[in-house]
Structure 1
Amino acid sequence: MRLAKLYRYPVKGLSPEPLDSADLPADGYFPCDRLFALENGPSGFDPACPAHQPKIKFLMLMRNAALAGLATRYDEAAGVLTISRKGREVAAGDLRSAEGRAAIERFLSDFVGAPEVRGPVRLLEAPSGFRFTDSKSGFVSLINLASVAAVEKAQGAKVDPLRFRGNLYVGDAEAWSEADWPGKKLRIGGATLDVLKMTDRCAATGVEPGTGKRDMDVVQTLRDNFGHIDCGVYARIEKGGRISVGDAISLV
């Protein structure tokens, strides 16, 4: 097996950013992943005492498919988030400033619009040691590209692997072999991951990346053809280290 692709998602629900490598911290989260979230009306999130919140409290693809039509880039050094649509920049803001956050909030509130926007859209930043993941176990997510190919065959249409919004995309594995990974460890580059559980899927996978069109029911395809709604796994970073696209992946 090998690491075929690598992505981070700085803002929950917004577009992925491809990476060549990443330094994984032991017992931490994937770097700069789900570091921000867009609160859709008051969620009760308290940064002084952060607790996992249901994803429905935020703007997200399961309910707000139009978000997939936006291309976003986060400049970590400058703190600037840039949003483009159809190749044209439509908003930008320094997330370290109130003015910059307000610019992003205004744009997304207008772009998504009522009735999907339930209240003031507010950009939240995760405090140290916390991330806005869908699952409490969402430290790192891995997707087996062979399983995506099996879903594509069953669907009878092209299925972009980015529908599954993983961090690590695994090549040269057998389809659905990840079902045997929970409870085992994976060595990738300088890091070791402890695989925790399979990842169950929701309606967000039915949204086409890049367009925001809801064009298929991947969850139903999984259920009808494979008897489950899982695709991919969550893992904890047991041993930190650098991983890079092309690295060999081995079961420990």
Structure 2
Amino acid sequence: MAGQIEALYHYPVKGLSGQRLGTVMLHPGAGFPEDRVFGFARHDSSFDPDAPKPVPKSQFVVLARDAALARLATDYDPQEGTLRITGQGQDRTFDLKEDSGGPAAAAFLAAFLGYEPGHQPTLQASAPHRFTDVSVVSPQMMNAISLINIDSVRAFSEAIGQDVNPLRFRANLLFSGIAPMRELDLVGREISLGEATLRVVMRTKRCPATQVNLETGLRDLDVPRLLRDQYGHSDMGVYAEVIKGGRIAPGDAVATL
């Protein structure tokens, strides 16, 4: 079974837009570079940056609760430490190296989302902690990489008679050339991606974030329910851990071992 990598993305800030990448270097036991390294914790979140422990994604500003986030585009520059947020007539850049940068970004987001006074979130970062959805499962899963089979999304789209953008699933790696839904049977198996080797560790159960149209910021498609209607489950995509590092890029082969 063989396919190829179509695209690579990371999501530096949990809940905000992804950034498309070229070549990426993976390392054993490490997560996807610069992925979910920041998170806007809600005003009542229990997350403690001085003693970071995974908390449910509901304690962060995420698409599952705030669909309007999709109307914003973000660009994080790890070298400069800056976060640019654009969209809806806005264009702001925040220097996260400065003490004022995080609070300023949080205030901007609170105003954009119409939060009540006193409900402003806090931008959190606590390396090497990552704010991945499955961090609550285990430290191993905190560093898992998410994969989506574009052919699975295409088959799902045809089954429901609706166009589904693969980016709704916010995966790090999009691939094609493997039979629809075949990846769900690979849990426990190893796959090669370019120079790297990964082990598939979990199927990805989809949440309400996938209901959001990334162009309009509106909930226009109940993806979890439609998946259940078609397949008897709400899984789309898989998580995998890096067991052999190496460079990967779009066009590289994807194969089971």
Could you say what secondary structure the match of 2:100 adopts? helix
* Residue 182 of structure 2 is aligned to residue 183 of structure 1: no
Could you say what secondary structure the match of 1:142 adopts? strand
1:89 Cα deviation (Å)? 4.1
Tell me if structure 1 keeps the 8 A contact 2:46–2:59. Answer: no
1:150-229 correspondence runs (5 A): 150-229=155-234
1:11-22 correspondence runs (5 A): 11-22=13-24
1:230-241 correspondence runs (5 A): 230-241=235-246
Judged with a 3 Å threshold, the aligned counterparts in structure 2 of structure 1 residues 197 and 2 are, in CA distance, closer, same or farther, namely: same
Unmatched runs of 5 consecutive residues or more in structure 1 = none
Q: Which runs of 4+ in 1 moved over 6 A?
A: none
Could you say what secondary structure the match of 1:13 adopts? coil
**What is the percent sequence identity of the aligned residues?**
43
Structure 1-normalised TM-score?
0.95
> Counterparts of 1:167 and 1:83 in 2: how far apart (Å)?
20
Judged with a 3 Å threshold, the aligned counterparts in structure 2 of structure 1 residues 75 and 112 are, in CA distance, closer, same or farther, namely: same
* Residue 42 of structure 2 is aligned to residue 40 of structure 1: yes
Match of 2:138 in 1: none
1:118 Cα deviation (Å)? 7.5
Tell me if structure 2 keeps the 8 A contact 1:80–1:93. Answer: yes
1:147 Cα deviation (Å)? 0.8
> Counterparts of 2:100 and 2:51 in 1: how far apart (Å)?
25
1:161-209: CA deviations, max 9, x gaps?
0000000001111000011110001111111111101000011101011
Tell me if structure 2 keeps the 8 A contact 1:50–1:127. Answer: no
Q: How many residues align?
A: 249
> Counterparts of 2:204 and 2:162 in 1: how far apart (Å)?
22
1:120 Cα deviation (Å)? 2.6
> Counterparts of 2:87 and 2:255 in 1: how far apart (Å)?
39
1:126 Cα deviation (Å)? 2.9
> Counterparts of 1:156 and 1:191 in 2: how far apart (Å)?
36
> Counterparts of 1:48 and 1:187 in 2: how far apart (Å)?
37
> Counterparts of 1:57 and 1:233 in 2: how far apart (Å)?
23
Judged with a 3 Å threshold, the aligned counterparts in structure 2 of structure 1 residues 99 and 217 are, in CA distance, closer, same or farther, namely: same
Structure 2-normalised TM-score?
0.93
> Counterparts of 2:215 and 2:16 in 1: how far apart (Å)?
10
Match of 2:87 in 1: 85
